[in-house]
Amino acid sequence: MNTGKTIFSQVMEFLPMYEFHKCVERYHGERKILSFSCLDQYLSIAFAQLTFRESLRDIESCLRSMSGRLYHMGFRGRISRSTLADANEKRDWRIYADFAMVLIHRARELYINEPFGVELANTVYALDSTTIDLCLALFPWARFRKNKGAVKLHTLLDLRGNIPSFIDITDGKVHDVNVLDILISEAGSFYIMDRGYIDFKRLYELHQALAFFVIRAKSNLQYRRLYSRPVDKSAGLRCDQTIVLTQSFADYPEQLRLVKFYDTENDLRLTFLTNNFALEALTIAQLYKCRWKVELFFKWIKQHLRIKAFFGTSENAVKTQVWIAVSVYVLIAIIKKRLTLEPSLYTILQILSVTMFEKTLLSQALTENDVFETIDENDNQLKLFN
């Protein structure tokens, strides 16, 4: 007898199912499908992400052990390792990519007023990539080096809420700077990047789109100083100059701003380039410091989501798993905001991982203070939401 909804069912109720079915129809995801729908596939992989399953056999065994509850959890098809493997292999990964973008749009609306460490009204993004190593023999399409395979996860992170607003999955050989060619820039927004994205022709296109960038300069930068502004050296600033490039003037024919900053904590001398001349020099340095949040995001998802060990070896299977993992991350961020939860995202995931089949109110399961005190004792855990 069903006496209530499981925690898993309550979590999935936050999904906009109308939008999900639109994504399925867009790519004809269920053409000639008699059983085990795209929703069954999504729920299976989402369950694996939330409960830290390691393989298809692991997913099958765990779900089949609770076969009496699967219907009420939203599953309609029979859970089978071979069926799930076939779905990961053949069903278009773009279904789950588009659906993840729907969730991302909703999450960004919820976190639009979230502070990120710098008092600034503009939207601020951090752009970076992370490499996920793969075995070239099993993933021959993911070429990286001669005897090594890998995929790259290029991510544009909205620093208000640490929500990824753009993700592109490529093989490991694609250079980071190439992502600027497909990035749709927003006028008035700031893009924070490391030295790997130095390409003045592409940066000039960003400038012409009326967007701002803050990027760390390379040590061999060739430029001519036009004039300098006074700086507060006690704050770590060393210079604030207006410059023009000499060697790359044809690629970037307008003036740039160069800010030098000394990081006393790490004994580093940093040089930043930006096309914004209105902000204080110290604010430019502070903006670049916020770039570490995208690196924290990569470390977090690698530690707490299943994107390092894959349930299939094809490109389609890998992209499907990564996009569903991203959608689960964003879904938990949405739940945290809508239920106004205090604990970290890590804490919420840990609680969900051991309560998926319980029939209690989700808000009650996630607001037991004594549980939080026990889980949060480990101060070494990465935290994206304080």
pLDDT in tens, 16-70: 999 999 999 999 988 877 788 999 999 999 999 999 888 899 999 988 888 888 8
Burial class (CB within 10 angstroms; exposed 0-12, middle 13-18, buried 19+) of 254: exposed
Is 70 exceeded by the pLDDT of residue 205? yes
Say what the pLDDT of residue 374 is: 45
Say what the pLDDT of residue 77 is: 79
Domains of the chain, first to last = 7-96+317-375 (no CATH), 116-296 (3.90.350.10)
Query: What spatial distance separates the first Cα and last Cα of the chain, rounded to whole Å?
Result: 40
Say what the pLDDT of residue 373 is: 46
Average pLDDT over all residues of the chain: 89
Is 50 exceeded by the pLDDT of residue 236? yes
Say what the pLDDT of residue 136 is: 87
Quick one: pLDDT band at residue 308, thresholds 50, 70, 90? Answer: confident
Say what the pLDDT of residue 383 is: 52
Say what the pLDDT of residue 192 is: 97
211-214 long-range contacts (CB < 8 A, ≥24 apart) are 211/185, 211/186, 211/187, 212/122, 212/188, 212/274, 212/275, 212/276, 213/273, 213/274, 213/275, 214/190, 214/272, 214/273, 214/274, 214/276, 214/284, 214/287, 214/288
Of 44-48, 211-215, 308-312, 381-385, the range with the lowest mean pLDDT is 381-385
Say what the pLDDT of residue 304 is: 86
| Structure token digits, residue 327 | 């959608």
The residue type of 37 is S
Quick one: pLDDT band at residue 151, thresholds 50, 70, 90? Answer: very high
Quick one: pLDDT band at residue 115, thresholds 50, 70, 90? Answer: confident
Say what the pLDDT of residue 3 is: 60
Say what the pLDDT of residue 73 is: 84
Whether the Cβ atoms of residue 386 and residue 344 lie closer than 8 Å to each other? yes
Quick one: pLDDT band at residue 384, thresholds 50, 70, 90? Answer: low
Say what the pLDDT of residue 379 is: 46
d(CA 227, CA 29): 59
DSSP 267-309: TEEEEEEES--SS-HHHHHHHHHTTHHHHHHHHHHHHHSS-SS
Is 70 exceeded by the pLDDT of residue 239? yes
Query: Which DSSP symbol is given to 197?
Result: G
Say what the pLDDT of residue 279 is: 95
Give the rounded percent of residues in the chain with a pLDDT score beyond 90.
64
Question: What mean pLDDT comes out for the span 184-208?
Answer: 95
Is 60 exceeded by the pLDDT of residue 287? yes
Say what the pLDDT of residue 69 is: 83
Say what the pLDDT of residue 2 is: 47
Say what the pLDDT of residue 273 is: 97
What is the per-residue pLDDT across 241-279, written as a single tens digit (0 to 9) for each?
A: 999 999 999 999 999 999 999 988 888 999 999 999 999
